[in-house]
Amino acid sequence: MNDNIEQKPVLNCDVFHLPALQQLLARYDLEVIRIADNAAIPGSFWGDSEAGLVQNVLYVRNDTPIHSALHEACHYICMDAPRRKQLHTDAGGDYAEENGVCYLQILLADYLPQVGRTRLWADMDAWGYSFRLGTTQMWFEQDAEDARAWLLAEQLIDIHDQPTWRVRE
Q: Is residue 141 part of a domain?
A: yes
Q: Is residue 1 part of a domain?
A: no
Per-residue model confidence (pLDDT) at position 6: 47
Per-residue model confidence (pLDDT) at position 1: 38
- Return d(Cα 25, Cα 101) in angstroms, integer: 14
The pLDDT mean for the chain works out to 93
pLDDT tens digits for 52-65? 999 999 999 999 99
Q: What is the DSSP string of 37-75?
A: TTS--TTBSS-TT--EEETTEEEE-TTSBHHHHHHHHHH
How many C-beta atoms lie closer than 10 Å to residue 134's C-beta?
11
Per-residue model confidence (pLDDT) at position 5: 42
Q: Is residue 6 part of a domain?
A: no
Structural domain span for residue 40: 18-153
Q: With beta carbons less than 8 A apart as the criterion, state whether 76 and 90 touch.
A: no
> Taking residues 12-29, what's their average pLDDT?
96
Q: Is residue 10 part of a domain?
A: no
Q: Is residue 45 part of a domain?
A: yes
Per-residue model confidence (pLDDT) at position 133: 82
- Return d(Cα 16, Cα 138) in angstroms, integer: 29
Degrees to nearest 5, angle at CA 93 with 116 and 125: 35
> Taking residues 2-14, what's their average pLDDT?
69
Q: Tell me: pLDDT of 164 over 80.
A: yes
Per-residue model confidence (pLDDT) at position 7: 57
Q: Is residue 11 part of a domain?
A: no
The least confident of 1-5, 138-142, 162-166 is 1-5
Per-residue model confidence (pLDDT) at position 87: 94
Instruction: Provide the phi-psi class of 92: left if phi over 0, else alpha when psi is between -120 and 50, else beta.
Output: left
Per-residue model confidence (pLDDT) at position 79: 97
Q: Is residue 116 part of a domain?
A: yes
Q: Is residue 5 part of a domain?
A: no
> Taking residues 115-142, what's their average pLDDT?
92
Contacts of 137 (CB under 8 A, 6+ apart): 118, 121
The least confident of 7-11, 27-31, 78-82 is 7-11
Chain centroid to CA 135: how far?
Answer: 17
| Number of domains observed in the structure of the chain | 1
> Taking residues 62-84, what's their average pLDDT?
97
* pTM of the complete model: 0.93
